Structure 1
Amino acid sequence: MTSTATEYGAARLARWLRTALSATAAAVLAATLGLVLLSVILRYLFQSGLIGTEELGMWLNVALIALGAPLAMSGPLAMRLDLPLGPKAEAAARVIADAISLIAAFVLVFGSARVIALIGGTSPTLGLPEWVPFAMTATGGALIAAILALGRIGERRIASLVASAILAALATLACLRITFETTLPPSAVIAICAGIGLLAAAPLAHAFLAAAMAAMPFGGNLAAETMVTTAVSGMSRFLLLAIPFFLLTGAALSASGAAKHLVTFAASLVGHRRGGLAQTVLATGTLFSGASGSSVANAVFSATTFHPELVRHGYREARAGAIIAASSVLDNVIPPSIAFLILATATDLSVGKLLVGGLLAGLLMAASLAIAIHMTSREQGGGPRATGSQRRGAFLAALPAFGLGIIVVFGIRIGIVTTTEAAALAAAYTLALAVFARNRNTSLFSVFRQTAAEAAAIGLLIGSAGPFAFQLAVDGVAGMLTAAAGAFGSSPAAILAFAVLVLLLAGLLLDIGAAILLFGPLLLPLATTAGIDPIAFGVIIVTTLMIGGLTPPVGMLVLVVGGVADIPAGALFRAVLPYLAALLAAVALICAYTLLI
């Protein structure tokens, strides 16, 4: 077989494997949704239930992550940092990034195999061996390596693949065989190695797993099987099922056409003001926040929908992208918020109370952005003022989308349904809207496939951050933060100032999900000891970290908008400064209010 035939065959096999994984992951997501909905029906209509629903749901979530994670190695949710590098530096970075992904795959496969060999017993509710989730995790690791290898062969980068494999093998062997005497804590080694992986444009979840292994020669407490056990434990929480369901809700809402009705309604409210189109973008983002719960999803939607129109109406490309990126911050603050779900998982805070606090904080941030847009849009006028009948018509058309707020916020806060049940009901509601709309441009199958890949990327990140969080606890980093906070003083204001500073610095380098998982459990005890309300502090954690989506070098929202709209990241980071200042002012007001309650 010739070299060209080999490359063609590898590329074709990679496409087939991706298609098969995508379809299977979509089916698993559909089955998980059906399971939770059936449980809700039995519970509320028949006062009955299914034995083992929660455990089966968690196992299905692990399966979804294992199947979807290989599909999320590229794209915005891979959490890659793509720096502008020269040809030689870029080639070297690719080798390092692929080596990191191969090490992460090895950790998942080898660690899972060790756990399977050690674990015994069967699930009392499902009657299946307890090693099943670990077998799924091992499969996910093998699929990551397979997709990576086939992709590089198909791209005619066989030499690069060989170099990456050799580097990964040598690094893994060194980590297993060599021990160093050093005073550097293992958690610091993980942070440094993860940072190197990030600079090399490796997926953040892969960088965390590889970095945890790199800490072993420096006294790290995490063998491969411990890393996998910690990761699977982090993924296996029933509350986390709400994440794919909320992502599905946002995707189905767009497919139903209801998102366009939200745009029309937003334009009828603010389109006539100065900078009317930009204010419409903000108002739409505020309304759409109540559906998707994902800032990245809204950034993609708004960049695709609004950026060309903003430019056509006289906004500079960078300014238009900055407005879209800043408005997208609201999606992880206004409920349903995936960020608050992750925080509740990491700290055991009440999801319902966090969502209510997030709603108030999100509206304040939206008001601050509205003022900033008004001040920076002196040259852009508004359109004609909508009449009363036009506003009523736009409201009635958008009314089905507002039903989500009743299902999610009030359902959870009042205690009628759990968070996961509310997310499943919201997904079913928007899927029904999509079916009723009969939009031929987007199939429901594609909605499930897209959501499965996005949910898997977030789930793998949650799991991969577990070993790092465990090592932080072992190294006593919480005590170090307490000692450092002492330099600021012991008053609630001083502790809050210290916490916000730490969160802002974390937001410069970490994705919000990873930052919440790592710093939420560390800072919350510090705040509660100082007498700060834990729910209010949880809101501050999310709002402060969301600002990191706009700050270099890892401003995820800026990178996503820049990628969709083809705008240099540097220009976007400069253009977003006025809106960044507005959001910081909003966080300052939230902090001031927190100190008063």
Structure 2
Amino acid sequence: MSRRLLASMEAVLGQLCALILAALLAIVLASVVLRYVFHTGVVGVEELCIWLHVALIALGMPLALNGALAMRMDLFSRSLPARWRQAGGDVFSVVAALVLVSGSHEIMGLLGGISPMLGLPEWVRFGFLGGGGLLLLVALLLQRMAEGRLVPALSSLGVGAAVYLAVPYLAVGTSLPSSLFLALVAGLGLMAAAPLPHAFLAAAYVAIAFGASLPEPAIVSTAVSGMSRFLLLSIPFFLLAGGLLTASGAAGRLVRLAKALVGHRRAGLAQTTLLSGVFFSGASGSSVANAAFGASTFYPELVRNGYPPQKAGAIIAATSVLDNVIPPSIAFLLLAAATSLPVGPLLVGGVFAGGLMAACLAVAIHVCVDEGSSSLPASGEVRRSAAAAALPALGLGVIVVAGIRLGVVTTTEAAAVAAFYTLALGLTAGTRAGTLWSTFRRAATEAAAIGLLIGSAGPFAALLAMDDIAGAVAQVVSSFGGGALAVLLLSNVVLLLLGLVLDIGAAILLLGPILLPAAVSAGIDPIQFGVIVVVNLMIHGLTPPLGMLVYVVGGVTGVPAPALFRAVLPYLAALLFSLILLSAYALLS
């Protein structure tokens, strides 16, 4: 019974999320047409899109409980009995859900006024997250019942409710910054296998006991403010574009072009995997999407040609790093949202950095893979034919970057155009309507998970600002001389260390605003520093204990994560070398 109820709930929520994404795409595209064709516009379009985006995140909250985008670090919980494996993490999820429900309810009671653009009460936008928290509680209970874990689920619910009720009555006297305790509690949540956004929200609430000046309504308000940026709508659109590119078969044409160009070289199949990853990066923007695509497309072929399973998986995971560096890049969008850096120059910097990383990986593959040439060089006619077939997909990244860099369209508009472009490719290729709609659903679910992470990082970032952590970092930098070399060394060390235990997106949102001021004061170009931040943190897609790209590849291929972490070491070294080169270039320029 519970399993059927859960499946029905997820199906309905998935359909609603897909509908909202389709509506957002239609609204933004209509706005583009009105502006550039009819030289007019509709007042309130951006605010409407922002409200719909918050609603998408709230409805998608229960759908992100499992899978890679739940961002669970379950290495420690795996040692527990199966019935209690996720009980500790569920406590954090319960606290987070209760904070969203109660905090939203308080805001709805306090906030008055009507949105001048939409004519709706202002509290509606905040009420979305309260509804999402309630749906999260229901989905969590149904899921555990379906798994036969009713007793642990009820225990987690009771403990979570007890923690929630006890926090307002606790007051721990300490002179340490409250953001430190938030980080420690969030780390405890990660060790207990809680989804990272839930750990952040629950920790922000528990930090009240340690002197944090963010009550429940402020936590919810800060989270909603973090989600409420028009720029962030580009994330679901780029995710949709990447999914539609695969569904339309255009991604397969990129693979054939890569094989025609490098398939005859030493380690030709591995080099084809790398070059296909480069091409796919220019249209997707999501490393997780590239990892899943490569694991399902290239892994069987690599193993069939004699590659050990762990080495085949390691090549796919390493090449997937490029997706969030080569534009369009979701990582650069997150950095721009967190630091107000211009998106266009960041994407141009990503082209250079991604090319350098790809070159370093190509050398590592040439050195580490024993496979010789397995085919003759493709003829010029075959290469021209493959290039012509792949041209529509290749042109997508160029259109996006050029449109943003030249100021023709905004980042969100460019992402919407990219999604519409790939949808047209799918329709002209005869892709079934059901496949296209499931792509909308998947993109909407992934976007909801990323959006919740962005919102949940808001209270943490606010406490970091209140505790003047950026000033403390500046003081540490000045104690090392305050020069560009000291800033780059310290920043890279901090990013490399904290990236081991922080999700990539969360690390960008939290560390970017802290480190950037110190870099600018030391005379480092902010765009180059932003590129270094993204490259540094993307490398952590391959490092334990989080290593999301490794877990995605392992989940698709069935190769154990520890074996993949060992096999990926040569490619990790190559990517670290590219980081050193980028840092040296920033110092010399």
TM-score range, shorter chain: over 0.9
Equivalent residue, structure 1, for 2:235? 243
Task: Compute the RMSD of aligned alpha carbons.
Answer: 1.2
Matching of residue 574 in structure 1 with residue 551 in structure 2: no
Larger CA deviation: 398-407 vs 111-120:
398-407
Equivalent residue, structure 2, for 1:293? 285
For 2:445 and 2:195, locate their aligned partners in 1 and report how far apart those are by CA, in whole Å.
Answer: 14
Amino acid aligned to 2:21 = L
Equivalent residue, structure 1, for 2:225? 233
Equivalent residue, structure 1, for 2:36? 44
For 2:179 and 2:306, locate their aligned partners in 1 and report how far apart those are by CA, in whole Å.
Answer: 49
Q: Relative to 1, partners in 2 of residues 1:515 and 1:232: Cα closer, same or farther, differing over 3 Å?
A: same
Matching of residue 500 in structure 1 with residue 492 in structure 2: yes
Matching of residue 273 in structure 1 with residue 285 in structure 2: no
Equivalent residue, structure 2, for 1:74? 66
In structure 2, which of residues 164, 168, 174 is the aligned counterpart of residue 176 of structure 1? 168
Equivalent residue, structure 1, for 2:299? 307
Q: CA deviation at 1:556?
A: 0.9
Cα pair 2:46 2:230 within 8 Å, conserved: yes
The 5 Å alignment of 1:513-528 reads: 513-528=505-520
Cα shift readout 1:417-456 (whole Å, capped 9, x = no counterpart): 0000000000000000001111249621101100110000
Amino acid aligned to 2:289 = A
Equivalent residue, structure 1, for 2:334? 342
Q: CA deviation at 1:84?
A: 6.0
Three-state SS of the structure 2 residue aligned to 1:416 is: coil
Larger CA deviation: 398-407 vs 498-507:
398-407
Matching of residue 397 in structure 1 with residue 428 in structure 2: no
For 2:254 and 2:434, locate their aligned partners in 1 and report how far apart those are by CA, in whole Å.
Answer: 18
Matching of residue 469 in structure 1 with residue 461 in structure 2: yes
Q: CA deviation at 1:91?
A: 4.3
Larger CA deviation: 170-179 vs 244-253:
170-179
Cα pair 1:32 1:57 within 8 Å, conserved: yes
For 1:100 and 1:206, locate their aligned partners in 2 and report how far apart those are by CA, in whole Å.
Answer: 6
Q: Relative to 1, partners in 2 of residues 1:578 and 1:396: Cα closer, same or farther, differing over 3 Å?
A: same
Structure 1 residue runs of 4 or more that deviate by more than 3 Å after TM superposition: 84-93, 379-382
Cα shift readout 1:512-537 (whole Å, capped 9, x = no counterpart): 11001000000000000000000010
Q: CA deviation at 1:201?
A: 1.3
- TM-score under structure 1 length normalisation: 0.97
For 2:492 and 2:217, locate their aligned partners in 1 and report how far apart those are by CA, in whole Å.
Answer: 35
Q: Relative to 1, partners in 2 of residues 1:442 and 1:573: Cα closer, same or farther, differing over 3 Å?
A: farther
Equivalent residue, structure 1, for 2:405? 413
**Unaligned stretches of 5+ in structure 2?**
none
Cα shift readout 1:16-38 (whole Å, capped 9, x = no counterpart): 11000000110000000000000
For 1:25 and 1:86, locate their aligned partners in 2 and report how far apart those are by CA, in whole Å.
Answer: 32
Matching of residue 252 in structure 1 with residue 238 in structure 2: no
For 2:562 and 2:77, locate their aligned partners in 1 and report how far apart those are by CA, in whole Å.
Answer: 14
Matching of residue 383 in structure 1 with residue 375 in structure 2: yes
The 5 Å alignment of 1:107-256 reads: 107-256=99-248
In structure 2, which of residues 461, 475, 481 is the aligned counterpart of residue 483 of structure 1? 475
Cα pair 1:506 1:545 within 8 Å, conserved: no
Amino acid aligned to 2:136 = I
For 1:415 and 1:318, locate their aligned partners in 2 and report how far apart those are by CA, in whole Å.
Answer: 44
Cα shift readout 1:470-492 (whole Å, capped 9, x = no counterpart): 11111121122122223432221
- TM-score under structure 2 length normalisation: 0.98
Matching of residue 365 in structure 1 with residue 357 in structure 2: yes
Q: CA deviation at 1:507?
A: 1.2
Larger CA deviation: 458-467 vs 394-403:
394-403
Larger CA deviation: 480-489 vs 524-533:
480-489
For 1:544 and 1:488, locate their aligned partners in 2 and report how far apart those are by CA, in whole Å.
Answer: 21
Larger CA deviation: 92-101 vs 62-71:
92-101
For 2:473 and 2:393, locate their aligned partners in 1 and report how far apart those are by CA, in whole Å.
Answer: 43
Q: CA deviation at 1:87?
A: 5.6
In structure 1, which of residues 335, 341, 354 is the aligned counterpart of residue 346 of structure 2? 354
For 1:391 and 1:30, locate their aligned partners in 2 and report how far apart those are by CA, in whole Å.
Answer: 37
Equivalent residue, structure 1, for 2:584? 592
Amino acid aligned to 2:405 = R
Matching of residue 558 in structure 1 with residue 538 in structure 2: no
For 2:493 and 2:144, locate their aligned partners in 1 and report how far apart those are by CA, in whole Å.
Answer: 41
Q: CA deviation at 1:190?
A: 1.1
Cα pair 1:30 1:448 within 8 Å, conserved: yes
Q: Percent identity?
A: 59
Q: CA deviation at 1:381?
A: 3.4
Larger CA deviation: 305-314 vs 237-246:
305-314
Amino acid aligned to 2:94 = L
For 1:91 and 1:213, locate their aligned partners in 2 and report how far apart those are by CA, in whole Å.
Answer: 27
Aligned residues: 589
Cα pair 1:255 1:442 within 8 Å, conserved: no
For 1:15 and 1:178, locate their aligned partners in 2 and report how far apart those are by CA, in whole Å.
Answer: 40
Equivalent residue, structure 2, for 1:264? 256
Cα shift readout 1:553-578 (whole Å, capped 9, x = no counterpart): 11111111111111111111111111
Cα pair 2:500 2:543 within 8 Å, conserved: yes
For 1:150 and 1:85, locate their aligned partners in 2 and report how far apart those are by CA, in whole Å.
Answer: 21
Amino acid aligned to 2:526 = P
